């Protein structure tokens, strides 16, 4: 008589335990939760709905032509018995799944791109992205939930000149690796997340044996917060010219060292002879290129343009890296900006105020990336479109690093700040001239 209530209570306890554990997994171990609960259900839904979705979105093709002869008349109509494209079994990824589809003769990936939203709704996933890895195939990548909501959950191994910035829309880690992509261009309007990204980058590089050089011509308001970890900080264009000139001289010394050793980069030198890598972080590139019309101002702008271009062209193999950021990046700043842009292989575009900046940042790489960057809203702070080392692009979001945390990290590792004698001498000489 009492067995029924006991079984019922036990069942409720088990259900409550499953719900609690499931909620904990979803919050703290989203990948585990996806593999155990999300993927099996979504994979079944993909297999169950594929034929119907393909028919409703014009992905299916009939083996019979849409036109036929009826006596002396040509009759046109919808073909009967359409055949859905052949799709592979859904393969699980960390926070989603992938399906490879073989195109029918005459089909193009653009048809599948138009159907991406329909696929996402049918499969009840966050988004579906369409790419074509090779001719005749389409890769559908479904993301179960939005990984950009909590980018701080991403992890990546620590490497020299590598910084974990946040998370990609695929659920993977967003990493800026200066060894793979030596120079970066970052564009973003005010309150788009650009400054947060720079703070995150400095926080990640601070514990590493690298020299950080800041160029902030807004009086050092942004990068001055991390002065304890910076080997040098230029707060005006005149100081920027001095710092960049000294770095070009140092670059020539590194060339001589490599030539004497018979190697083509500093990474082939013995550890004892290898000079320390230098990362130059420039906040608001427009301040270096804009001129007020005076001869002195024009001369300084031309010097900055020439020096930056030399560092970008020759610095990668010599351990000199550029990270250039700005609210507005356009050809109106001068031809030097366009030439510099061509040398900055890494691109990051946050929300921008004008289409020209998005085009300047991503247009020479992928037109689709420009459209996606322009769709970023003001509420999506920290969201950006970034390029990867393979030449592709992805939506990403930087991990929110509070200013006080970034400043504390810079102070903690201030003892690791290396000296750059050539830069120190240049700034000292500039101060002597002012006196």
E strands in 146-234:
162-168, 173-177, 184-187, 211-216, 230-234
Query: How far, in Å, CA of 148 to CA of 136, rounded?
Result: 31
3-state secondary structure of 48: helix
Q: Which long-range contacts (CB under 8 A, 24 or more apart) does 291-296 make?
A: none
Express each pLDDT in 253-288 by its tens digit.
999 999 999 999 999 999 888 999 999 999 988 888
Express each pLDDT in 52-100 by its tens digit.
999 888 888 776 666 655 666 666 655 566 788 899 999 998 778 999 9
Check: CB of residue 343 under 8 Å from CB of residue 306: no
- Reported as type and span, the H/E element at residue 332 is none
Q: How confident is the model at residue 22 (pLDDT cuts 50, 70, 90)?
A: low
Check: CB of residue 366 under 8 Å from CB of residue 345: no
Query: How far, in Å, CA of 95 to CA of 207, rounded?
Result: 30
Query: Residue 197 corresponds to which tokens in the numbers above?
Result: 């990204």
pTM over 0.75: yes
Query: How far, in Å, CA of 289 to CA of 373, rounded?
Result: 25
Query: How far, in Å, CA of 90 to CA of 128, rounded?
Result: 13
Query: How far, in Å, CA of 224 to CA of 227, rounded?
Result: 5
Q: What count of Cα atoms within 13 Å lies in the side-chain half-sphere of residue 173?
A: 13
**Residues above pLDDT 90, as percent of the chain:** 40
Q: What count of Cα atoms within 13 Å lies in the side-chain half-sphere of residue 67?
A: 3
pLDDT reported for residue 318: 94
225, pLDDT greater than 60: yes
Check: CB of residue 158 under 8 Å from CB of residue 190: no
Query: How far, in Å, CA of 226 to CA of 40, rounded?
Result: 47
Average pLDDT of the chain is 85
Query: Residue 114 corresponds to which tokens in the numbers above?
Result: 């138009």
Express each pLDDT in 313-347 by its tens digit.
999 999 999 999 998 887 777 778 888 988 999 99
Q: Comparing C-alpha atoms, which of 201, 177, 310, 184 is closest to residue 250? A: 310
**Lowest-confidence pick of 146-160, 164-178, 391-405:** 146-160
pLDDT reported for residue 147: 75
């Amino acid at each position: 008589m009492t067995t029924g209530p006991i079984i019922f209570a036990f069942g409720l306890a088990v259900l409550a335990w499953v719900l609690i554990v499931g909620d904990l997994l979803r919050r703290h171990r989203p990948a585990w939760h996806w593999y155990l609960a999300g993927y099996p259900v979504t994979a079944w839904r993909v297999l169950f709905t594929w034929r119907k979705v393909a028919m409703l979105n014009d992905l299916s093709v009939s083996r019979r032509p849409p036109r036929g002869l009826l006596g002396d008349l040509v009759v046109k109509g919808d073909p009967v018995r359409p055949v859905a494209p052949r799709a592979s079994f859904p393969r699980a990824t960390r926070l989603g799944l992938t399906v490879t589809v073989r195109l029918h003769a005459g089909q193009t990936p653009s048809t599948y791109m138009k159907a991406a939203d329909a696929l996402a709704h049918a499969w009840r996933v966050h988004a579906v992205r369409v790419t074509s890895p090779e001719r005749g195939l389409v890769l559908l990548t479904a993301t179960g939930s939005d990984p950009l909501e909590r980018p701080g959950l991403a992890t990546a191994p620590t490497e020299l000149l590598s910084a974990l910035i946040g998370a990609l829309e695929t659920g993977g880690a967003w990493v800026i690796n200066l060894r793979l992509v030596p120079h970066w261009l970052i564009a973003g309007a005010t309150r788009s997340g650009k400054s947060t990204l720079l703070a995150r980058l400095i926080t990640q590089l601070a514990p590493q044996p690298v020299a950080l050089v800041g160029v902030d011509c807004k009086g050092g308001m942004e990068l001055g917060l991390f002065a304890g970890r910076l080997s040098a900080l230029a707060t005006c264009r005149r100081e920027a010219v001095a710092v960049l000139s000294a770095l070009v001289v140092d670059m020539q010394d590194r060339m001589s060292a490599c030539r004497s050793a018979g190697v083509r980069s500093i990474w082939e030198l013995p550890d004892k002879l290898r000079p320390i890598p230098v990362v130059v972080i420039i906040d608001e590139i427009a301040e270096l290129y804009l001129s007020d019309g005076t001869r002195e101002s024009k001369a300084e702008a031309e010097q900055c343009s020439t020096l930056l271009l030399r560092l970008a062209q020759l610095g990668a193999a010599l351990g000199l890296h550029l990270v250039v950021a700005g609210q507005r990046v356009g050809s109106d700043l001068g031809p030097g900006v366009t030439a510099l842009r061509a040398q900055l292989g890494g691109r990051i575009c946050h929300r921008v105020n004008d289409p020209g900046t998005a085009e300047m940042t991503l247009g020479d790489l992928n037109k689709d990336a420009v459209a996606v960057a322009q769709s970023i809203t003001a509420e999506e702070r920290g969201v950006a479109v970034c390029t990867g080392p393979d030449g592709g692009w992805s939506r990403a979001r930087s991990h929110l690093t509070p200013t006080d945390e970034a400043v504390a990290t810079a102070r903690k590792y201030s003892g690791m700040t290396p000296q750059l004698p050539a830069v120190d001498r240049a700034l000292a000489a500039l101060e002597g001239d002012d006196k």
